[in-house]
Amino acid sequence: MLIDRAQLSRIDYLEIFKLGLTKGNASSIKLWMDATVPHIGWRRTLSVLRACLATNPRGGAFALYQVPGVCRRKGELSGPLPTHALAAECVELILQYHDKGQRVVDDNTLASFRKALSSCK
Protein backbone atom coordinates (compact mmCIF):
# COMPACT_ATOMS: atom_id res chain seq x y z
CA MET A 1 0.00 0.00 0.00
CA LEU A 2 1.24 3.44 -0.84
CA ILE A 3 -0.87 5.01 1.87
CA ASP A 4 1.89 4.58 4.46
CA ARG A 5 4.09 6.96 2.44
CA ALA A 6 1.43 9.63 1.97
CA GLN A 7 1.59 12.75 4.07
CA LEU A 8 -1.83 12.56 5.67
CA SER A 9 -3.04 13.85 8.99
CA ARG A 10 -3.29 11.53 11.96
CA ILE A 11 -7.08 11.74 11.69
CA ASP A 12 -6.92 10.60 8.06
CA TYR A 13 -4.78 7.59 8.99
CA LEU A 14 -7.21 6.80 11.79
CA GLU A 15 -10.14 6.83 9.37
CA ILE A 16 -8.22 4.62 6.93
CA PHE A 17 -7.51 2.17 9.77
CA LYS A 18 -11.22 2.09 10.66
CA LEU A 19 -12.08 1.52 7.00
CA GLY A 20 -9.62 -1.38 6.95
CA LEU A 21 -11.39 -2.93 9.92
CA THR A 22 -14.63 -3.03 7.96
CA LYS A 23 -13.22 -3.89 4.52
CA GLY A 24 -10.29 -6.12 5.47
CA ASN A 25 -10.28 -9.84 6.09
CA ALA A 26 -8.16 -12.09 8.31
CA SER A 27 -5.03 -11.62 6.20
CA SER A 28 -5.51 -8.25 4.45
CA ILE A 29 -6.06 -6.41 7.73
CA LYS A 30 -2.30 -6.68 8.31
CA LEU A 31 -1.69 -4.52 5.23
CA TRP A 32 -4.12 -1.90 6.51
CA MET A 33 -2.42 -1.99 9.92
CA ASP A 34 1.12 -1.79 8.49
CA ALA A 35 0.08 1.35 6.63
CA THR A 36 -1.72 3.11 9.48
CA VAL A 37 -0.61 1.95 12.96
CA PRO A 38 2.81 3.68 12.77
CA HIS A 39 0.95 6.95 12.14
CA ILE A 40 -1.75 6.60 14.79
CA GLY A 41 0.18 4.73 17.50
CA TRP A 42 -0.59 1.65 19.56
CA ARG A 43 -2.60 3.44 22.25
CA ARG A 44 -5.07 4.79 19.66
CA THR A 45 -5.09 1.45 17.82
CA LEU A 46 -6.06 -0.44 20.97
CA SER A 47 -8.69 2.18 21.75
CA VAL A 48 -10.28 1.67 18.32
CA LEU A 49 -10.13 -2.11 18.76
CA ARG A 50 -11.85 -1.76 22.13
CA ALA A 51 -14.68 0.15 20.46
CA CYS A 52 -14.86 -2.53 17.72
CA LEU A 53 -15.78 -5.09 20.34
CA ALA A 54 -19.30 -3.61 20.31
CA THR A 55 -19.53 -2.46 16.69
CA ASN A 56 -17.34 -4.77 14.57
CA PRO A 57 -16.02 -7.67 16.67
CA ARG A 58 -14.99 -9.76 13.68
CA GLY A 59 -12.80 -7.00 12.22
CA GLY A 60 -11.35 -6.24 15.64
CA ALA A 61 -10.51 -9.91 16.21
CA PHE A 62 -8.75 -10.08 12.84
CA ALA A 63 -6.69 -7.02 13.78
CA LEU A 64 -5.82 -8.26 17.27
CA TYR A 65 -4.55 -11.51 15.79
CA GLN A 66 -2.17 -9.49 13.59
CA VAL A 67 -0.78 -7.24 16.36
CA PRO A 68 2.46 -9.23 16.92
CA GLY A 69 3.42 -9.12 13.25
CA VAL A 70 2.57 -5.55 12.36
CA CYS A 71 5.59 -3.75 10.93
CA ARG A 72 6.68 -0.32 12.07
CA ARG A 73 8.80 0.19 8.99
CA LYS A 74 9.28 -1.96 5.95
CA GLY A 75 11.03 -5.15 6.97
CA GLU A 76 11.19 -4.29 10.66
CA LEU A 77 8.82 -6.20 12.93
CA SER A 78 7.24 -4.38 15.81
CA GLY A 79 7.92 -7.22 18.23
CA PRO A 80 6.42 -6.70 21.66
CA LEU A 81 4.28 -3.69 22.30
CA PRO A 82 6.46 -0.75 23.40
CA THR A 83 5.38 -0.74 27.05
CA HIS A 84 4.26 -3.31 29.60
CA ALA A 85 1.05 -1.34 30.13
CA LEU A 86 0.15 -1.54 26.41
CA ALA A 87 0.95 -5.26 26.33
CA ALA A 88 -1.30 -5.83 29.36
CA GLU A 89 -4.04 -3.73 27.74
CA CYS A 90 -3.76 -5.82 24.57
CA VAL A 91 -3.99 -9.08 26.54
CA GLU A 92 -7.05 -7.82 28.42
CA LEU A 93 -8.65 -6.86 25.13
CA ILE A 94 -7.93 -10.29 23.63
CA LEU A 95 -9.59 -11.89 26.68
CA GLN A 96 -12.61 -9.62 26.28
CA TYR A 97 -12.93 -10.62 22.63
CA HIS A 98 -12.76 -14.30 23.58
CA ASP A 99 -15.39 -13.79 26.28
CA LYS A 100 -17.65 -12.30 23.58
CA GLY A 101 -17.15 -15.34 21.33
CA GLN A 102 -14.43 -14.00 19.00
CA ARG A 103 -11.44 -16.33 18.73
CA VAL A 104 -8.19 -14.37 18.52
CA VAL A 105 -5.54 -16.81 19.80
CA ASP A 106 -5.35 -20.56 20.33
CA ASP A 107 -6.50 -22.17 23.60
CA ASN A 108 -2.97 -22.61 25.01
CA THR A 109 -2.10 -18.97 24.42
CA LEU A 110 -5.43 -17.90 25.86
CA ALA A 111 -4.78 -19.95 29.03
CA SER A 112 -1.31 -18.44 29.41
CA PHE A 113 -2.76 -14.93 28.93
CA ARG A 114 -5.37 -15.57 31.61
CA LYS A 115 -2.71 -16.91 33.99
CA ALA A 116 -0.34 -14.01 33.34
CA LEU A 117 -3.08 -11.44 33.80
CA SER A 118 -4.30 -13.00 37.06
CA SER A 119 -0.75 -13.06 38.46
CA CYS A 120 -0.38 -9.33 37.74
CA LYS A 121 -3.44 -8.40 39.79
Give domain limits for the chain: 3-120
pTM summary value: 0.84
Backbone phi, psi, residue 75, to 5°: 80, 0
Cα separation of 60 and 73, whole Å? Answer: 22
Residue pLDDT, tens place only, 74-113: 444 455 677 778 888 898 999 999 999 999 999 998 898 8
Handedness of CA 33, 36, 38, 41 (dihedral sign): negative
CA distances from 45 to 28, 33, 36 (A): 17, 9, 9
pLDDT for the residue 112: 87
